[in-house]
Amino acid sequence: MTHLKLTSLLVGLLVLLSLIVVAKFDQFLRQKFQPRQSATGLLAYLTIILLFIFIYTFLVTFTISHLFPVAIK
């Protein structure tokens, strides 16, 4: 397998594994805040999810860029 294909496969696996963590975290938050029961729970749930999306995106991008650095000319 070429280096580019292996890198693409590893990045894909990293994203899939991190999505398992996201799904478990979402399940935990739904049980804790019960967003369908009250407006306060919904607001707290949405606030935490929005913050989590920003942190998750940063961490995945940071991890991928450090594991697979691109040569700068």
Domain ranges of the chain: 17-64
What count of Cα atoms within 13 Å lies in the side-chain half-sphere of residue 16? 6
pLDDT band at 44, cuts 50/70/90? very high
Assess whether pLDDT exceeds 60 at residue 72.
Answer: no
d(CA 63, CA 69): 10
Q: 33 burial class (0-12, 13-18, 19+ CB within 10 angstroms)?
A: buried
Check: pTM over 0.85? Answer yes or no. Answer: no
Write down the pLDDT at residue 3: 76
Mean pLDDT of the chain: 90
Output the CA torsion sign for 30, 55, 53, 6: negative
What do you get for the CA distance between the two ends of the chain, in Å? Answer: 26
- List, for residues 29-40, the tens digit of each pLDDT value: 999 999 999 999
